[in-house]
Amino acid sequence: MPGEDGFITCAVCGFSFDPSAHEGCRACPLHSGCVTACCPNCGATNINPRRSGLARLVERLFARKTYETPFDEER
């Protein structure tokens, strides 16, 4: 899941990386429709949730719920 800083965690090696940091992708003609991101640590191809409208929707729903928990209010 991308954190607030946009980092995602690789499924294979657990490495956290910023999928937008790879300028090579921007040169790719298929980039605009591509939902994958390559882990710079192990090279595994991951789904990039930032590219999915459905994932962004779920993220927003979940984020709102998180902020409403008493734990966060106490903090």
Partner 1 sequence: MTHCHSSAPSVPLNGGRIALVGNPNVGKSILFHRLTGQYVTVSNYPGTTVEVAQGAARAIAGAVVIDTPGIVAFPPRSEDEAVTARVLLRDPLQSVLQVGDAKNLRRTLHLTVQLAEMRVPQALALNMMDEARARGLNPDCSRLAGLLGIPVACTVATSGAGMDSLIDAVKHAAISKVVLAYPPAIEEFLASAEPLLPEARISARALGLLWLAGDQQADAWLREKAPVENLSQLEALRAALTGRLEEPAYLVIQRVREAFVNRLAAEVMDVSRAAGPTFGMRLGHLTTHPVWGVPILAAILYGLYWFIGVFGAGTLVGLLENGLFGRVINPWVVEQVQRLIPLRFFSDLLVGEYGLWTMGATYAFALLLPVVITFFLAFGALEDSGYLPRMAVLTNRLFSLIGLNGQAVLPMVLGLGCVTMATMTTRILNSRRERLLVTILLALAVPCSAQLGVVMGMLAGVSFGAALIWGGVILAVLLLVGWLSARLMPGKRAPLVVELPPLRLPVAGNVLVKTAARLEWYIKEAVPLFMAGTLLLFVLDKLNLLPGLIHATEPVITGWLGLPPQAASAFLLGLIRRDFAATGLFHMQSHGLLSPLQVVVSIVTITLFIPCIASIFMIVKERGLRMAAGMVVFIFPFALLVGGLLMRVLRLFGWS
> Would you tell me which residues interact with partner 1 (CB under 8 A)?
1-2, 7, 9, 11-18, 21-24, 35-36, 40-45, 47-49, 51-55, 57-59, 62-63, 66
Cα 60–chain centre separation: 13
Tokens 């409208």 appear where?
53
Minimum distance of partner 1 from residue 11's CB (angstroms): 5
Choice between 33 and 73, CB closer to partner 1: 33
Which CB atom, from 54 or from 74, has the smaller least distance to partner 1? 54
Give the integer Cα–Cα distance in Å for 54 and 25. Answer: 22
